[in-house]
Structure 1
């Protein structure tokens, strides 16, 4: 059941404003510290800071990180469905799965950053249209996983990011092993109720889905392990079990992550 899941700590090593050597070092530090999962993101330009600053592509980085590491899970938070044919994406994920020895997570969403689309020649369209395309792609990805030779080393976990109640959360109920949200605690409680309703209609156990949240680095010290608080509200008590912090280049400061790891270890025993 969801309540029995262990807490996991993730970092999103944002592939911007640093050199590849700095990115590689950040991944090494993440694994050495005991982080559970390392994400990057699927964009072509920085999302903050200098908009034309240094930036690296998502899946080629994941392949390199898969060879570099031995323990942490790896994935994108999240892959844009728009940028790759779904059959190709499944093949890429399967390949990184084998490089990593079964540690890849397929994080996926509908895409949103217009500059990526316009500069790389993809049709931006509408938010609704991009979600419809994601709905079409997910079964194709699942089918391709089943037909690849060799197959993935395990059932590749699917993480779906986004909080749209009519379309996105329905896709989570149908396809996701992990649901990721950047929403605040009050909104999260409501979204989880919506997701429960979608799971019931889809005949899916809500407890099968790991609840993942994006968080800041503050608020861990001095908190009771049985009532952890993020921004004053206990996200843990709502059911969140995967907590991920974003780390920006070029320094990729892990100091805010360390208290979370201590809290995780206290809670998980």
Structure 2
């Protein structure tokens, strides 16, 4: 199937006042990006580990009101931090607030400091992925039972590259898959995702391929497009949120016709 190329921006909710984050979101929408993401952590991932930081889902509710066109979501929500039914209802509510622009980005979780400081059981990578596999059907079931129902079939984006377990979850449940690896890893795992699709009886070509980019499109876009990527996301950090690279990618997208 042919997909249009989309540009995402991950506005990292760290090392900034909320007014600066809000301003960055406004600029991201004005530039013409397709999706604005944040992330789901409680502390900065780099820089000062005790620097400024804000929570994911309360922010998404505010973003839903602040914006009118851009899709919004987390890259990605940590499945461990919320009961699946609660998360489903939060997502459904933000879906309605935004007029149907929410993407549920979700992953198994990995940042141990979050778990330790907020009292969650870290477990193992295997247990966290198993929890994610159990959560996604519960989320979909809660959406189906909700009144009002979501405004649309909320797209589910799963992030992660575990070949044996995570990619099987992607093949079973996801509308999009975000690879955190390089081009070689992306290409290998994309083929493995196709194999999992055959195993679970679902054509994995329906799963959009997504990747983060930190270089100009002239340097990396052609190879990534050839590998099947159609969603390209640029991460920007506070407090300044420089969007110059985002502008390059949006211009490149528009030149594709």
TM-score interval w.r.t. the shorter chain? over 0.9
The one of 96, 100, 103 equivalent to 1:102 is 100
Q: Which stretches in structure 1 are left out of the alignment for 5+ residues?
A: 224-228
CA contact (8 A) 2:194 2:205 kept: no
Match of 2:255 in 1: 266
Q: SS at 1:230's partner residue? A: helix
TM-score (normalised: structure 1): 0.94
Q: Aligned partners of 1:208 and 1:118: how far apart in 2?
A: 37
Q: Deviations over 1:119-154 (max 9, x none)?
A: 000000111010111111111001001001101000
Q: Secondary structure of the residue that 1:154 maps to in structure 2?
A: coil
Q: Separation in 1 of the partners of 2:186 and 2:132?
A: 22
Of 95, 99, 111, the residue aligned with 2:109 is 111
The equivalent of 1:13 in structure 2 is 11
Task: Name stretches of at least 5 consecutive residues in structure 2 with no aligned partner.
Answer: none
Q: Calculate the aligned-residue CA RMSD, in Å.
A: 1.0
Q: Secondary structure at the match of 1:118?
A: helix
How much has 1:207 moved relative to structure 2?
Answer: 1.9
Is contact 1:182-1:215 (8 Å) kept?
A: no
Distance across 1 between alignment mates of 2:179 and 2:187? 11
8 Å CA contact 2:160, 2:166 repeated in 1: yes
Q: What residue is the counterpart of 1:226 in the other structure? A: none
Given that 2:5 and 2:230 are in contact with CA atoms closer than 8 Å, whether structure 1 keeps it comes out as yes
Question: Are residue 230 (structure 1) and residue 215 (structure 2) matched?
Answer: no
Following superposition of structure 1 onto structure 2, how do residues 116-265 of structure 1 map, counting pairs within 5 Å? Answer: 116-216=114-214, 218-220=215-217, 223=218, 229-230=219-220, 234-265=223-254
1:179 is displaced (CA, Å) by 0.2
Q: Specify the alignment match of 2:65 in structure 1.
A: 67
Does 2:29 align with 1:40? no
What's the TM-score, normalizing by structure 2? 0.98
Cα distance, 1:206 vs. partner? 1.9
Size of the aligned set, in residue pairs, is: 257
Distance 1:190 1:47 in 2: 27
Alpha-carbon separation, structure 2, partners of 1:219 and 1:34: 17
User: What's the offset of the Cα at 1:189?
Assistant: 1.0
Q: Distance in 1 between matches of 2:175 and 2:255?
A: 25
Contact residue 37 and residue 75 of structure 2 kept, 8 A = yes
| Matches of 1:120 and 1:167, distance apart in 2 | 26
